[in-house]
Chain A
Amino acid sequence: MLIAVLSGFLLALLLFFFGKYLKSRHFSLIGFLPLGIFIYLLSFLPLINSGQSAMFHYSWVPSMGINLDFRLDGLALLFGCMITGIGSLVFFYAAAYMKHHPFIDRFFVFLSVFMASMLGLVLADNVLLLFVFWELTSISSFFLIGFNNEEEGSRKSAIMSLSVTGGGGFFLLAGFILLGNLSGSYSIREMIFSSEVLKDSSLYGLLLVFLFLGAFTKSAQFPFHFWLPNAMKAPTPVSAYLHSATMVKAGIYLLARFTPVLGTHSYWNNSLMITGAFTMLYAAIHALFRKDLKAILAYSTIASLGMMVFLLGIGSEKALLAVSVFILVHALYKAGLFLTAGVIDYKTGTRDLHKLSGLRKVMKPVAIGGLLAALSSAGMPLTFGFIGKDLIYEATLGAPGNLAWILTGIAFVSNVCLLIAGLMVGIKPFFGALPQKFSRVKKVSGFLWMPGIILGVSAIIFGVFPMFLDRNLITAVAQSINGTVIDISLKLWHGFSLVILLSILTLSVGFIFYFLRKGKPFNQEKLAGFESVSPEYLTELIISKTDKFAFRYTRLLHNGYLRYYLITIIVFLIGLVGYRLFTEVPLSVNYAQLSETRFYEVVFFIIIVSAILITVFTSSRLTAIAGMGIIGYCMCLIFVFYGAPDLAMTQFTIDTLTVVLFVLVLFRLPQFKKYVNLKVQFRDGLIALSFGAIISIIALQAFNEPADKVVSHFYGDNAYVLAKGRNVVNVILVDFRGFDTMVEIIVLSIAALGVYSLLKLKVKAPEKE
């Protein structure tokens, strides 16, 4: 299993180094990797059927509770199969679609990383591992969305999607850590046992907020949905993959995965239901106002995701069964529609619904694929979509009391809109008269139409023979989401009931509406009035305002004058420490602890004070530096008197070098002039004196606290025993705290590099900003 997950990363690594040597036609071979994993995953079907799950354990960082624990149960298998199954189709498709792209190798690097991360995400049992993969999907999708990086719009959408999903990931991590602390385990399987503890916890609400922020940003729920339509800037195979089976479904997966742990609580159900319902309605209506094929699909994807969240929110057994089916239904038809839209775009160069018609005459196989997908999306009888739609209505009708009617109404409106949207993409471009300019469209290669047909046909197969899936997979999926077994079988025909009536009503209203408008979308301009309150606009407003604020704030503090930096730091320190000292610490000097003043100490005190005075009041830089050197050496001697020879040696050499450095720099400075007036000098003197006073008070105060000598005794006692050294200071540096030293020398090296590059870097005139 580890190999299956990691193979995508390995492939990416190989492609990264050797991809440029491959010919573009060889890239279609890459599709066999996901196909292989797909078959490997299918081999677990019998095990999953029997209601069991497969565990795979690999140690990673056992001391922190992070292990490569993978668990394959119904839900993971469903997602794994979608990721690899649809993945392999997308891979084949992309190899043909991107054939002439100069960076096709790079494209497959990103795509493989993405697929592998997604697979890891759904298989991970450890939440921290899940989070790692979660972030990897965000990052790799960033590269995929921004793949056409020479376009500004593409870069912008990539950054937008990364900021939204990455921001959500940040909250998700907080949620996972909280979850781990409350339940005492990072394993999802074990968390189920502490479900009651979690739900009774006072932090339950906060936990949900964190998890929901993570899931909603990823699954494009209102008000975080806006990144998804923008992400359509990606090459179409990417959109097909990301928005049908993978990326956006990760949020759904997360919610489904945690339903047995955190679900069946009014907070959980209500928030999911409301968010899902609103997103669904909002996006379904929006979809009808778009004329770009991919934009329509984007909004219908958001609506479908809303539907899934909504069903998870209802939370009844039927709803959970419905969501299990609908995830697959949606993946099949949405991938099909995206792939169809991709071929149309590839061959005609436009995605404008107004311009496209009659294409069935030039690309028949594509038209069939599109038609099948559209019918499944519409929920026509004998397609898989029909079963999905039935279950959705069963779920909404099953809700208690009047709520049932409200929920059913919402689901009905959304379904009608989704149906129209599906028809607009899957049927409208192919029927009607073929415009002259499209009549010369060349034949579509098999790699481009085949995946769409496969998806469409499987939707029909599953629709006619639902029992294929029912016993094999869906029961296990619903069991994973519900926690216990749900015994409802999928049927093609449930007998005549309200549900069927609703289905027929949906179909007829949708079709009538579609034909009345002849498949034309509404004018998007009608929505322009709402622009100023749309979440996208508001978010961008907040971002630009933050930018401006950050600019001003930085200008204020980062003003380029070293003296002001120092003043700011020191004044703050004086203020904070002084406040603490004078308000909360009883100040007193413990005279008994002070040793007698010795003669030479007085001498050095006098030397230091006079050196300071000379340094401050001299008008020659050289004198000032010499004065500083004297102060430094006197300090070294004080260290020597008090038995710190190592410190003294270091201080001594450092002081010597500092003086040398100053002298070197001195030559570069302009002639010394007195720029400061008395007022500034007085200010600086005051700050310096108060800082000195604060430090002295702290030093004196330190006597009053009994020192904790455990640490120093440990080092003293063990330096020779454990590290074979008698010089405790050195032993600490190279052994006990050697890691610190290592980091310190790295810092030193960076400082040296900084100095070197600052002084040696010669910016040529035109490059200067």
Chain B
Amino acid sequence: MNSIILKTASSYLLPLLLMFSVFILLRGHSLSGGGFVGGLVASIAFVLHAFAHGFDKARAIFRTNPGFLIPVGLFLCFIMGAVPTFFGAPFMKGLWLEKSIPGIGHIGTALFFDIGVFIVVIGVTLTILFTISESDMEQEEV
């Protein structure tokens, strides 16, 4: 797609949308939102960028394959599940700090768990999309 307007707009939209996705992620615990939707929104931000500038450019934002996000997120989730076991609580019990931090709210294992979900979702979505788009180009070359 070769549109100046889209290209210019998407350059500004990418950070905005990413920030929005983090916003959705963080507000999730008390208002509509959450890691899953947040991750999807972030992926859409990259997809938009890809449509404006081409998939190569979008992929270049990640130095490596976005697939590396998947194990990172899974690991974070697992750790957050395991943390309570060190305090004698069962696996996956939500632990929270006593005081809430202004602007972010309560900090607890569930929050980080949600961040893990967020990361996994971005990794999964982008892996699928980028893989399909890549093989698509190879096809054209042939």
What residues of chain A have their CB less than 8 Å away from a CB belonging to chain B? 645-646, 649-650, 653-654, 656-657, 660-661, 664-665, 667-668, 722-727, 729-731, 733-735, 738-739, 741-742, 745-746, 748-749, 751-753, 755-756, 759-760
Contacts and interface: CB of A to CB of B under 8 A. Distances in A.
Contact of B74 (A722, A745, A751, A756): A745
20 contacts: A646-B37, A653-B43, A656-B44, A661-B129, A661-B132, A664-B129, A668-B135, A724-B96, A724-B106, A724-B108, A727-B34, A733-B34, A733-B117, A734-B114, A739-B81, A739-B92, A745-B121, A748-B124, A756-B128, A759-B131
Contacts of A733: 34-36, 114, 117
A729 B28 CA distance: 9
Contacts of A726: 29-31
A752 B29 contact: no
A661 B51 CA distance: 12
Given A657-B40, A748-B120, A752-B67, A723 B110 contact: yes
Given A724-B106, A745-B73, A752-B127, A657 B34 contact: no
Interface in B49-101: 51, 67, 70-71, 73-74, 77-78, 81, 91-92, 94, 96
Interface residues of B, number: 53
Given A752-B128, A760-B135, 10 more contacts: A657-B44, A664-B132, A727-B33, A730-B33, A741-B77, A742-B92, A748-B121, A749-B124, A751-B128, A759-B135
A751 B128 CA distance: 9
B71 to A, nearest CB: 8
A724 B44 CA distance: 30
B126 to A, nearest CB: 9
Contacts of A730: 28-29, 33-34, 114
B131 A742 contact: no
Contact of A668 (B31, B124, B139): B139
A760 B137 CA distance: 13
A749 B131 contact: no
A653 B44 contact: yes
3 closest Cβ pairs, A-B complex: A653-B40, A725-B29, A726-B30
Interface of B: 24, 28-37, 40-41, 43-44, 47, 51, 67, 70-71, 73-74, 77-78, 81, 91-92, 94, 96, 106, 108, 110-111, 113-114, 116-117, 120-121, 123-125, 127-129, 131-136, 139-140
Contact of B136 (A645, A664, A725, A753): A664
Contact of B131 (A722, A725, A738, A756): A756
Main secondary structure, interface of A, reads helix
B30 A649 contact: no
A742 B78 contact: yes
B50 to A, nearest CB: 9
Nearest to B66: A752
B136 A749 contact: no
A746 B127 contact: no
B67 A756 contact: yes
A738 B110 contact: yes
A745 B36 CA distance: 10
Contact of A665 (B74, B124, B132): B132
A653 B96 CA distance: 30
B37 A650 contact: yes
Contact of B77 (A650, A722, A745, A759): A745
A729 B30 CA distance: 9
Nearest to B29: A725
B99 to A, nearest CB: 12
Contact of B113 (A656, A738, A749): A738
A650 B40 CA distance: 8
A724 B40 CA distance: 24
